[in-house]
Structure 1
Amino acid sequence: MYLVFDIGGTFVKSALINAAGNIQTKSTFPTPDNIEALIECMIENYMSISTKIKGIAISCPGTVDINTGKIYHGGKLRYLHQQNLVQLLGEKCKVPIAVENDAKSAALAELWLGSVKGYENAIVLVLGSAVGAGFIINGKLYRGKKLSAGEVSYMGTLNPDTLNTNLFGPTGSAVNMIKNTSKKKGIDVSGHHVFDLINKKDPEATAIFDKYCLQLAAQIMNLQYLLDPEVIAIGGGISAQPIVVEGIQQAINKIKVKNPIHHANPNIVSCKFQNDANLLGALYNFFELKQEDILPI
């Protein structure tokens, strides 16, 4: 059995998962506001488990050197910058440990057991507070020379007069889309409530959603031309809503009608895993890094 952590901005998920990718137990605790408290909580979680643990796999924000376990930047959790979770946890947890970026973990989950399994070239886009991505090239996750492959939130268009950049992270953020809808409606709405409004064709919610899909579609077309993947899978919590893939496809069609020069035809699908993707992908990264056998499904 393996202990897997998914470190998020609000909660840390922990799960016991077997070598076939079956989640046995799952729990959460609030994400601490400093590295010392985070490590203490993770060690306490490990020590509380009576089952024999063969290894620890971790998904977290930031740029991750999987060979050393060192994290750079840390996304919303700035205190992760320059921290080495393998070393910090390894002082108390005497088992092999592996760490990977959260969006790349999601892509690995889909490659292992999900919607891009069997494809040689694919992209997984994770829509959350920003936009993360994992590029599958020749059947393997591509990390890049400086581990920055997939940091699509920083893609944008530059205003040459002001040098201001319109970044994909904010425009592709599912969280921002939900907040904008809440503000427009003048009510405190959840993600589920927003999609209730969209599915019921509420004019104001639909207008915001349609604009959001067009912004996603424009970048998806760019990615299609850059890498020519066989499939682009949409992940994140909102990918559970069928209207998301439908809306993106409709937006791509609008762009192509308006600009007939386009010949790209992205194959858009939903990810199989939403909330569990980072957990499963972190474990798959562990298997690849430690060269352990994976049980047949």
Structure 2
Amino acid sequence: MYLTLDIGGTFIKHALMDAAGSIIEKGKIPTPKTDAINHVLMGKNNPATKKQLEELKQILFSIIDNQELTNIKGIAVSCPGTIDVESGVIYNGGSFPFLHGINLVKILEDRYGKDVYVENDGKCAALAELWLGSVKDVKDSVILVLGTGVGGGIILNRKLHRGVNFSAGEVSYVMSEIDPITKEVQFVGLECSAVEMVKKISQIKQLEDSTNGKAVFEYINQQDKEAMKVFDDYCIQIASLVLNMHYILDPELIAIGGGISVQPILVERIQWAINEITKKNPLHVTKPKVVACHFQNDANLYGALYHFFTSKEK
């Protein structure tokens, strides 16, 4: 058995999995709330961020301590941030800035004496699709995970491309627009945020819960005019990103993941948006093939395990 951990903004998920990728059992624990703004303003050594790190470590320890460790061959972790997969050090930390500079591999290996491998969450989602998902039979592909921002990964010749600084595929930081005078920019991570799209529609429809994606997509699937206006604008932004990625990398497939990818209308409207853009801009000659990812909520668990296996082989 292998223990897989997915450190997310809402939950820390865990699963016992076998070598074939079957989940034997799984669970989840709420993630401690973080305060990224105070971390940046006050520095990583302030007591609040030290407390957050300790809280996160204790949750991870409680999950692992509750396992029958003699039956576990190793621990695979999916985590936000830029991950140096060679050393196990986390940089920036994404939603968990207090993890910056922390060597999670060493912390867990020293405590449990097991092999531990850590990979970025977006790249884990891409690895899950490469191993057992929508791009398993494809040589070159791009996986875009739509959530708070846009994560994912680039697959070249059936291998994850990380880049010299381990940041390849971090498309949230791609600039969609820049003011040449002020130098202020618009980032893809905000323009293509599924969370922000859901919030906008929630506010328009006066929903009590601004994070209720299920209720928002009920309006979208009913072709509500107000909801569709926001959703179509959103799909235009995604289509623009898809076209840009396609011109840069020319992959066989671009797979769309994240919680909203379970909705068939998402890929349908992205394809519609691509057609609308190319009709209005005749210089476009590429025709990207867009599909939905196979994995949704458990993608990072599968990807973390696949990263474990491929790292052990080196």
Query: After the TM superposition, which residues 95-244 of structure 1 pair with which residues of structure 2 at under 5 Å, given as runs?
Result: 95-156=114-175, 157-189=177-209, 190-244=212-266
Matched residue, 2:59? 41
Structure-2 separation of matches of 1:35 and 1:247: 41
User: Which shifted more, 138-147 or 156-165?
Assistant: 156-165
Q: Which runs of 5+ in 2 are unaligned?
A: 35-51
How far the C-alpha of 1:88 sits from its partner, in A, is: 1.1
Q: Which runs of 5+ in 1 are unaligned?
A: 293-297
Structure-1 separation of matches of 2:154 and 2:293: 14
**Counterpart check, 1:275 vs 2:297:** yes
Matched residue, 2:43? none
Structure-2 separation of matches of 1:89 and 1:244: 39
Matched residue, 2:49? none
Kindly provide the CA deviation profile for residues 239-264 of structure 1, in whole angstroms up to 9, marking residues without a partner as x.
Answer: 00000000100000000111111011
Query: After the TM superposition, which residues 233-272 of structure 1 pair with which residues of structure 2 at under 5 Å, given as runs?
Result: 233-272=255-294
1:43, 1:93 within 8 Å by CA — same for their partners in 2? no
User: Which shifted more, 203-212 or 90-99?
Assistant: 90-99
Shift >4 Å, 4+ stretches: none
Q: TM-score, normalised by structure 1?
A: 0.96
User: Which shifted more, 193-202 or 183-192?
Assistant: 183-192
**Counterpart check, 1:93 vs 2:115:** no
Structure-1 separation of matches of 2:53 and 2:139: 38
1:283 counterpart letter in structure 2: L
Identity %: 52
Structure-2 separation of matches of 1:80 and 1:9: 13
Structure-1 separation of matches of 2:309 and 2:85: 12
How far the C-alpha of 1:163 sits from its partner, in A, is: 0.6
DSSP 3-state at the match of 1:262: coil
1:70, 1:82 within 8 Å by CA — same for their partners in 2? yes
Kindly provide the CA deviation profile for residues 85-108 of structure 1, in whole angstroms up to 9, marking residues without a partner as x.
Answer: 111112221110000000000000
Kindly provide the CA deviation profile for residues 20-64 of structure 1, in whole angstroms up to 9, marking residues without a partner as x.
Answer: 000111111111351212122212211211261100000010000
Structure-2 separation of matches of 1:210 and 1:86: 42
DSSP 3-state at the match of 1:107: helix
Q: Choose from 101, 109, 113 the match for 1:82.
A: 101
Matched residue, 1:62? 81
Matched residue, 1:285? 307
2:279 counterpart letter in structure 1: V
